[in-house]
Amino acid sequence: MTMSDTIEADLPFLTALRRDLHAHPELGFEEYRTSDIVARLLEEAGLSVHRGLGGTGVVGTLQIGNGTRQIGLRADMDALAMPELVDRPHRSTVPGKMHACGHDGHTTLLLGAARELARRRGFSGTVHFIFQPAEEGRGGADRMVSEGLFDLFPCDAVYGLHNMPGLDVDEIAVVEGPQLASSDSWRVTFRGIGTHGAKPHLGRDPVTATGSFLVALQTIVGRVVDPLQPAVVSACSVQAGQADVLNVIPETVEIGGTARAYSAEVRDQLEAEIGRLANGTATTFGLSADYRYTRRIPPVVNHPDATSRALGAARDVFGKVRTSFPPSTAGDDFAALAQDRPGCYVWLGNGPAVEGAIHHNGGYDFNDEAIGPGVRFWTRLVERELAADDHGTA
């Protein structure tokens, strides 16, 4: 049977698997059921399986022939803490949790590729199938790396994939350069002197200072960062006073937000400028300021060589291959895997955003029509990367 035939025959199983994962979502570092399923299916396919990195992480290894090149393919497994709002046969059975970003699909695609490659054995070298916990802001990739992922499973290159509503299911985007922004958090606390709301002159008002700071914050992107360099600074939380006590000026205001950039230089600039404005505002209003900037996820930047290899596989599989596609200001901790080795992160078509159901929306669902193309892409990428003609006899 050809690759197309065997993957086609596996689609009913993979579709049922994807829907089962969707119905049983688990949050980051809690993917116990999911990792059990992943490990069992990898073992049944004949792969060597390692568990425990990042707590619930699973790595399946398939070594064929005498090729020395090793590559890693990554899928994230976690769901989000949000309710599913659309009634469907495979909707979430866990209140307040759902697969609203398609990680159920990503896990299924990589399992499908592992099964196909174990059947075909049409390459020479080693591929590590990395099933990562806790992509959604909990640091799963960092934890896997810090616990020895690449010491145990060295990789000459790593690849990631994410579904993209709005691209057709026979379409993929493979683009060199920045794909996702750094994702950092910042917090500012203004400390003044609380007083009666009718006697503001007796205190030092952090609420008025906060208003000034929030307006000034947008001048960082508008007037400090190079206009040809994308950046985002957003205040997302303000905590001050009590809603049922409206005649007291509070002593403190706590503000928090996010900062995004595609380059190390702009990332440094954002950290410095938010702090400069916080301290300047505090001085202006006679307050003190506590400032903390937390670097969470670096940007995802596709390496030229890895991108070229992924592009070749994409052209073998897809009717439409985009080599130009706008980067996202979202973040993905795949960046931690690709930080010290060539990496490429591609966008797999998920079909129309039905009724506006995009990522992190309560109506979102991974499109099962994308399973076949996604499995074919992963399979073809491995067979091209680890071609027997280049690396030895399979």
List % helix, strand, coil for the chain (3-state, nearest 5): 40, 25, 35
Residues 83 and 251: their CA atoms lie apart, in Å, by: 36
Q: Is residue 196 marked as binding?
A: no
Locate tokens 């797999």: which residue?
348
Q: Is residue 136 marked as binding?
A: yes
By three-state DSSP, how is residue 354 classified? Answer: helix
**DSSP label at residue 24:** S
Contact (Cβ atoms closer than 8 angstroms) between residue 178 and residue 301: yes
Helix (H) or strand (E) holding 294: strand 288-297
Q: Is residue 236 marked as binding?
A: no
Q: Is residue 24 marked as binding?
A: no
Residues 189 and 289: their CA atoms lie apart, in Å, by: 6
Residues 322 and 78: their CA atoms lie apart, in Å, by: 28
Strand 125-132 and strand 58-64: pairing? antiparallel
Q: Is residue 128 marked as binding?
A: no
Residues found in the chain = 394
DSSP secondary structure string, 212-236?
HHHHHHTHIIIIIS-TTS-EEEEEE
Residue 160 C-alpha from the chain's centroid: 9
Q: Which of 190, 207, 199, 384 is nearest to 283 (CA)?
A: 190
Provide the total of helices (H) and of strands (E) in the chain, helices listed first.
Answer: 12, 16
Residues 169 and 313: their CA atoms lie apart, in Å, by: 16
Q: Which of 390, 387, 376, 305 is nearest to 122 (CA)?
A: 387
Contact (Cβ atoms closer than 8 angstroms) between residue 14 and residue 111: yes
CA trace torsion 135, 336, 344, 370 (10° rounding): -10
Contact (Cβ atoms closer than 8 angstroms) between residue 288 and residue 243: no
Residue 167 C-alpha from the chain's centroid: 18
Q: Any bridge partners for residue 159, and if so which?
A: 73, 344
Binding residues are 101, 103, 136, 162, 360
Binding residues for Mn(2+) are 101, 103, 136, 162, 360
